[in-house]
Amino acid sequence: MNATLPLQTLLESGQPVAEHRPWPRIVVTPEIWKPLSEGLANGSWTLLGLWGEIGMVHLAVWEALEGFYIASLPCPNGTFPSVGRLHPPAQRLERTIADLVGLRPVDALDSRPWLDHGRWPVRHPLGSATAPTSPSPPYRFLPAEGESLHQIPVGPVHAGIIEPGHFRFTANGEAVVRLEERLGYVHKGIENLLQGASLEQAARLVGRVSGDSTVAYALAFARAVEAATETEIPARAHWLRALMAELERLANHCGDIGAICNDAAFALMLAHCAVLREEVLRASAACFGHRLLMDCIVPGGVATDLSAEGATVLQTLLAEFRRQFPPLVELYDNTASLQERTVDTGFVKPVLIQQFGSGGIVGRAGGRAFDARRQPGYPPYDELKFEVPLRTDSDVNGRVWLRISEVRQSLALIGQILERLPSGIVRAPLNLPNQTGEGVALVEGFRGDILVWLRLNADGTVARCHPRDPSWFQWPLLEAAIENNIVADFPLCNKSFNGSYSGHDL
């Protein structure tokens, strides 16, 4: 392997973009693009996102010591050198760029469409937006051939009330030989709707990319807007945002712990966890006026302040939670039949987790200690005491325990926030500079790190916005997690990942 240049040295020869904050965005040439891809492939830095717009692709990378960078490659011919050829995690992102913008990755290993199933009235909705001329050819699933192998198509419509996604199993009896996912059934054209939207509309749209992490998305969008406009928001708003984010994490982790156990037919855990989750949602509604806290975070601050009664409601919630949660952990730990199902099931190799840069539960249960609250970090987490729980077992049991640890951390964080909440106003006017600006933000949602990049027009509307869900780097690992498992254990593995379909399909 060649010695790789440091990221900064590599990007020095590019053209930095002036109005891009807080990380540098650098316009590069194909000569820089290539070693950049190689650095991703040999693990020198991690892929954070890859997206396109007319005539340009953007690549977000992170290096532990040097920080965050965005490299932009102009594509005058409508093509760009494939990153996915060297670095597999980029493959689905490239296929998406080809579907949405029409920029073609050269020498890509997989040229099949990804989100576009040939059912849209337009092709390349973010690019030329032309009507499709010919029907697209049927989708080819990757072959797995051999005697006694058979295929099991599952979905996109499932027997339970969950989001749609297609899973193609090739199995030998009960043993899974290959799993291939096909997603894109809930593509809503959000990026297209965002173009030209006012900030108010855009905040609502981004808050609905994936309903269960609406706080994290709204926070990422708001932070990106504030970065682009160089707006400082009041301290109290920062703290209230963190409070909402932790409430969301608490509710979702609690629901997930119950749902994983329910997939092993242990409905008792689900029943108790659902009660706890409901208590969080009701407290959220009482404090901020919305059960899921939708539209509570807006660019410039938060929409509603926390009243004194609200703080009491949350204190009661904390006390109640601290009383009810430990017995549930004990129940999980002491039910041997449940442990039998979760231990060693759905193991993901830590090497793959590092390669894909998976964040959130999937990453931290497999030894990748990345948490956007720490790196890049954002207020008020620099002033709060919390740990980032880490495990190395990387199986369903590990992911359940990691959620349990994170619930405890969130409880402690909410306690600290309530205790030290600064006073003052909660919203500041945006500092619209009458010129284009670009901003980016990385925020830790309950699934992992959410990236939002945007460019604002001079009139304050959104020129281009790209929200990237953490599931992009988790879904591919599910295909690997099911290896050496049996078909009947797939629901358990899938639930322990709990990837977002909506956030991924956009």
Based on the shown chain and the rule CB under 8 A, indicate whether residue 487 belongs to the binding site for other proteins: yes
Q: Look up tokens 């309950």; give the residue.
A: 446
- Closest C-alpha to 451, from 148, 46, 116: 46
- Span from 42-50, 107-115, 431-439, 485-493 in contact with other proteins (CB under 8 A): 485-493
Residue 151 touches other proteins, criterion: CB under 8 A: yes
Q: How far is the CB of 482 from other proteins (least distance, A)?
A: 11
For strands 20-21 and 437-444, give the pairing: parallel
Candidates 30, 74, 153, 377: give the one binding other proteins (CB under 8 A): 153
Q: Which is nearer to other proteins, 320 or 383 (CB)?
A: 320
- Told to check if 150 binds other proteins by CB under 8 A, we report yes
How far apart are the C-alpha atoms of 17 and 3, rounded to whole Å? 28
Q: How far apart are CA 106 and CA 170, in angstroms?
A: 30
Q: Rule CB under 8 A: is residue 486 a binding residue for other proteins? A: yes
What letter does residue 168 receive in the DSSP assignment?
E
Contact criterion met (CB below 8 Å) for 504 and 471: yes
Q: Given the complex with other proteins, which of 129 and 275 has the nearer CB atom?
A: 275
Minimum CB–partner distance for residue 405 and other proteins (Å):
22
Under the criterion CB under 8 A, does residue 338 sit at the interface with other proteins?
Answer: yes
Within 10 Å of residue 165's Cβ, how many Cβ atoms?
22
Among 90, 179, 264, 462, binds other proteins (CB under 8 A): 264
Between residues 390 and 487, which has the closer beta carbon with respect to other proteins? 487
Of the candidates 201, 315, 335, 354, which one interacts with other proteins according to CB under 8 A?
A: 335
Residues 6+ apart with CB under 8 A from 35: 4, 5, 10
Q: Which residue in 386, 504, 417 sits closest to 115, CA to CA? A: 504
Whole-angstrom distance, CA of residue 410 vs CA of residue 356 = 26
Please, which of residues 223-262 interact with other proteins by CB under 8 A?
A: 261
Q: Is 90 helix (H, G, I), strand (E, B) or coil?
A: helix
Nearest distance in Å: CB 224, other proteins: 38
CA–CA gap between residue 327 and residue 277 (Å, rounded): 15
Query: 82 vs 40, 63, 92, CA distance in Å?
Result: 12, 21, 11
Interface residue with other proteins among 12, 31, 107, 174 (CB under 8 A) is 174
CB of 400 to other proteins, least distance (A): 12
Output 272 or 464, the one with its CB closest to other proteins. Answer: 272
Alpha-carbon span 175 to 85, nearest angstrom? 30
Strand ranges for 110-257 from DSSP E? 150-154, 166-172, 175-182
The answer to whether 153 touches 166, Cβ cutoff 8 Å, is yes
Q: Which stretch binds other proteins (CB under 8 A): 270-278, 286-294, 302-310, 354-362?
A: 270-278
Q: Which of 223, 341, 403, 464 binds other proteins (CB under 8 A)?
A: 341
Dihedral in degrees, nearest 10, Cα atoms 48, 50, 56, 62: 20
Q: Using CB under 8 A, count the residues that bind other proteins.
A: 33
Asked if 54 contacts 63 with a C-beta cutoff of 8 angstroms, the reply is no
Looking at beta carbons only, is 274 or 390 nearer to other proteins?
A: 274
- x/- contact string, 440-479, with other proteins (CB under 8 A)? ----------------------------------------
Catalogue the E-assigned strands of 64-211: 67-74, 79-81, 104-106, 150-154, 166-172, 175-182
Interface with other proteins includes 166 (CB under 8 A)?
no
Q: Which whole-number Å values give the CA distances from 179 to 103, 155, 182, 246, 407, in the listed order? A: 28, 13, 10, 34, 31
Minimum Å gap between C-beta 267 and other proteins is 6
User: Could you tell me the smallest distance in angstroms from the CB atom of residue 500 to other proteins?
Assistant: 19
Give the residue, chosen from 18, 275, 369, 458, that forms a contact with other proteins under the rule CB under 8 A: 275
Q: Which 8-state DSSP code applies to residue 88?
A: G
**DSSP 3-state assignment of 398?**
helix
Least distance between other proteins and beta carbon 193 (Å): 32
Q: Does 177 sit near other proteins (CB under 8 A)?
A: no
Q: Of 112-120, 153-161, 321-329, 459-467, which part binds other proteins (CB under 8 A)?
A: 153-161
**Helix (H) or strand (E) segment spanning residue 221:** helix 214-229
Residue selected from 1, 3, 265, 308 as contacting other proteins according to rule CB under 8 A: 265
Residue 333 corresponds to which tokens in the numbers above? 């730990």
**Which of 76, 143, 146, 160 is in the footprint of other proteins by CB under 8 A?**
160
- Rounded to a whole number of angstroms, the minimum distance from the CB of residue 209 to other proteins is 26
- CB of 141 vs other proteins, minimal distance in Å: 14
Q: Which residue, 151 or 435, has its beta carbon nearer to other proteins?
A: 151
What DSSP element (H or E) covers 202? helix 199-206
CB of 474 to other proteins, least distance (A): 20
Enumerate binding residues for other proteins (CB under 8 A).
Answer: 150-154, 158-161, 173-174, 261, 263-268, 270-272, 275, 335, 337-338, 340-341, 486-491
